Copies of this chain bind each other. A is one copy, B any other.
Amino acid sequence: MFVRNAWYVAGWSSEFPSDGITSRTLLNEPIAIYRKRDGSVVALADRCVHRLAPLSLGSREGDDLRCGYHGLKFAPSGKCIEIPGLEGRIPERARVLSYPVVDRHSWVWVWPGDPALADESLIPPAIGLDHPDWTLKTGELDYEASHQLVNDNLLDFSHLSYVHKVSFGASEKWALTRPEVTMLERGVRVQRWIEDAPRRNFATNVDTWSSYDFLVPGVLLLSSKVYPPGTAAACNHEPPTIAPLPHAVSDTFSCQAVTPLTDTTSRYFFSWGPPAGEGAEATAQMLLGIAHQAFAEDKAMIEAQQKVVARSPGVSVMPTPNDHAVLAFQRLLNKMMQAEGGRSVPISKSLSSV
């Protein structure tokens, strides 16, 4: 039920110190992650070949990892290179899976698919915390819910009108206007103007330009810009080319990633902030508070939804016109899963086709 040939966020770079071994479960698979002496990351299946003890309870020796139970030693390639008590040759099958893994944009990305296809250029162009143009603050949230439900949430911003009425000050227009949805090679682009509507932190109504790419396997890169009323019409409802309002939060960027831990749990990583500059720290901190408030609202709704889904086998969803991007992304994932030889998720008939 997962696309495997994709880069999944295993965590913030800072979660993987230069010493120690960190265990992370991605796509139901426990993975022991550590850094070599040169700082590069290693990701091994977290299960010794001997008696299935977790390697993450072991210790590092140089660039290698020694199991903490009976002392078998593994190279970064996954190959077992020492078995205490064994005098003869170590058999070929004494080997654990080694995952392609890259530290980039302040996230550590793991590729659970075919290593031969692990192309680093497919890593989504997120903005890292050290990017000179942006000041971003980060957060992280664990969901007792399938990654799919979290993705669906991010692909349909009509929920802002109901779930985030207070936290984001979102008007009903998010639910009543349709965004422009464009297919990308590995994702969808969702863009729209919300015109002449109230917005948190703004005293009067504004026009908001919202544009995001949602990329496989579940990475959202979102730009929001705020303008005086009338700007959307003046731009002919095309993407704006002029500068937004001079205001602390009239121009922000957010990177978000949804990673399946198991079939029914997931981890949500996010950053948000304004362009770098004077006052950016305080603005980013204020935005982080809003994000925590809003994402707690999402979490409450999505985890409740997951419980209903779990006790409703065979009950299908009934998409509305606002599900355009949801369905487009699901079709993309299905195509990829089928190409990988996996099963696809049934696409529900769209309501508009009834």
Contacts and interface: CB of A to CB of B under 8 A. Distances in A.
Contacts of A172: 84
Contact of A69 (B68, B88, B301): B301
Contact of A305 (B51, B85, B161): B51
Interface string A39-73: 00000001101111110010000000011111110
15 contacts: A50-B317, A53-B301, A53-B308, A54-B307, A68-B163, A68-B301, A69-B163, A70-B162, A71-B175, A72-B320, A84-B175, A85-B178, A85-B322, A86-B320, A86-B352
A47 B312 contact: yes
A308 B352 CA distance: 46
Nearest to A25: B311
Interface of A: 28, 30, 46-47, 49-54, 57, 66-72, 83-88, 91, 93-94, 152, 156, 158-159, 161-163, 172, 175-176, 178, 300-301, 304-305, 307-309, 311-312, 315, 317-322, 351-352, 354
Nearest to A29: B311
Contact of A317 (B52, B67, B301): B52
Main secondary structure of the interface of A (DSSP, over half): loop
B85 A175 contact: yes
B315 A85 contact: no
B322 A70 contact: yes
A207 to B, nearest CB: 20
A51 B152 contact: yes
- 8 tightest CB-CB pairs across the interface, nearest first? A84-B175, A85-B322, A53-B305, A91-B354, A52-B308, A85-B321, A49-B318, A71-B162
Nearest to A152: B51
Contacts of A354: 91
